[in-house]
Each structure stands twice: as C-alpha cells, then as structure tokens.
C-alpha cells in the first residue's frame, strides 16, 4: 500500500511544473526536490564536468547545487526560470572552484573521456572516442568565460539573455564570448575534421 502511495506521489510530482515543485519546497516539503533532481541533475552535472574538466569536482558541484537549492529555496521567486537559477548556482560554484584551483585541470585527459557505447562497432567506437577527445581539447582552449557561455548555449540551449543572467554580464558580452569561442573552436575542429592545413582567418 505504501509503495503504491509512493508511486502515486511520484506520478503527481511529475505532473507539476518547476514553479509548483518549488512552491512545495518553499513551504518546507523536501519531497519534490527529488523530482527537481531528476529533471536537472544530468544537465547540471554535464555542464560542471565539461566546464571544470574534473569528475570529482563536478560531482561535488552538482551535489552542492541541490543542497543550496534546498537551503535557499525562498530566494527563488519564480521571476526567472528554475533552470536559470540552478545554472547560476552551478556556474558560481564552478567559477569558485577554478579560482581556488588556480584554473588548472586536475584530471588526466584519459579519465575525462567517457566510455563509448558498447552498441557501436569497434571502428565507430574509436571514431566516437577520437571525436570526443577532439571536442574536449577544443573546449579546453577556451577561456573559462567563453567555455561557460558556449556550454550553456550549445549543450543547454539557453538564450543569450539567460546566459547573461547566469554570468552576471550583459547580453552583448555573451554574444562576444560565444563568437570568439566559436572562432577558436572552428579553427581547431574544422581543421582537424577536414584535414585542411590552412586555418581560416575569420576575424
């Protein structure tokens, strides 16, 4: 009976939107936090992982984001989207980490790469691994500000206005960061992809 009630509650939570879930959390009920975790933990973890290039730090950051969400739930007023608020907390934690660790990646390149899906054939697995390595290396060439902006834009689908809110700067600054990031990525990735020796001078 209890399990059935639990399932019903879980289904009910899934039907609630972010604002409704947060209202419950604000009223002191922490149960809906697990639904928020389900919705956002993967996005937050991936962002932190790609931003910090350190698995342990990304795990700590993800955990800390949800602890902060619970502690400071009442500071979420629903003016912004929940995703923007959570990514703001994540980005702050990541920036703090980079400041403290003097911006040096602690992870070896090997551990940063994920295991390609076993569903792929050996050739395709190798190719996927090489592509991931190339993209990861290209992202490492960016400044932290550019990386933050491009990760939020490319992988999280946030608008420039939302990214500006997260980064605490103007939309214009985000536009510039994404543009410069793309220029760097383009030079590195398109050269490697096409085998073209010449870097394009797009600036």
Q: Quick one: 102 or 197, whose CB is closer to another protein?
A: 197
Q: Does residue number 39 form part of the binding site for another protein (CB under 8 A)?
A: no
First to last CA, the chain: 66
Angle between helices 33-52 and 55-71 (to 10 degrees): 140
What is residue 54's DSSP assignment?
Answer: -
Q: Does residue number 136 form part of the binding site for another protein (CB under 8 A)?
A: yes
Q: Does residue number 170 form part of the binding site for another protein (CB under 8 A)?
A: no
Q: Quick one: 7 or 161, whose CB is closer to another protein?
A: 161
Among 72-80, 85-93, 95-103, 162-170, the segment contacting another protein (CB under 8 A): 72-80
Name the minimum Å distance from CB 41 to another protein: 5
Distances (CA, A) of 36 to 19, 48, 171: 10, 17, 28
Q: For residue 11, give the H/E element and its range.
A: helix 2-15
Among 42-50, 87-95, 99-107, 140-148, the segment contacting another protein (CB under 8 A): 42-50
Residue 136 exposed, middle or buried by CB count within 10 Å (0-12, 13-18, 19+): middle
Picking from 48, 47, 49, 20, the residue whose alpha carbon sits closest to that of residue 36 is: 20
Contact footprint for another protein (CB under 8 A): 19, 23-24, 26-30, 33, 37, 41-42, 45-46, 49-50, 55, 59, 62-63, 66-67, 70-71, 74, 77-79, 114, 116-117, 128, 131-132, 134-136, 153-155, 157, 159-160, 175, 178-179, 182, 185-186, 189-190, 193-194, 200, 202
């Amino acid at each position: 009976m209890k399990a059935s009630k639990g399932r019903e509650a879980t289904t009910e939570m899934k039907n609630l939107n972010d604002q409704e879930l947060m209202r419950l959390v604000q009223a002191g009920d922490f149960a809906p936090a697990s639904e928020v975790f389900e919705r956002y933990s993967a996005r937050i973890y991936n962002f932190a992982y790609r931003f910090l290039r350190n698995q342990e730090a990304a795990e700590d950051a993800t955990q800390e984001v949800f602890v902060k969400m619970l502690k400071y739930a009442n500071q979420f007023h629903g003016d912004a989207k929940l995703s923007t608020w959570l990514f703001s907390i994540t980005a702050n934690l990541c920036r703090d980490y980079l400041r403290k660790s003097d911006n040096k990646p602690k992870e070896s390149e090997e551990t940063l790469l994920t295991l390609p899906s076993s569903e792929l054939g050996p050739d395709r697995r190798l190719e996927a691994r090489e592509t991931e390595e190339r993209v990861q290396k290209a992202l490492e060439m960016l400044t932290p500000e550019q990386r933050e902006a491009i990760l939020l834009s490319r992988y999280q689908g946030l608008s420039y206005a939302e990214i500006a809110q997260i980064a605490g700067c103007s939309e214009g600054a985000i536009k510039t960061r994404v543009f410069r990031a793309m220029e760097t990525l383009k030079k590195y990735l398109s050269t490697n992809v096409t085998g073209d020796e010449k870097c394009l001078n797009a600036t």
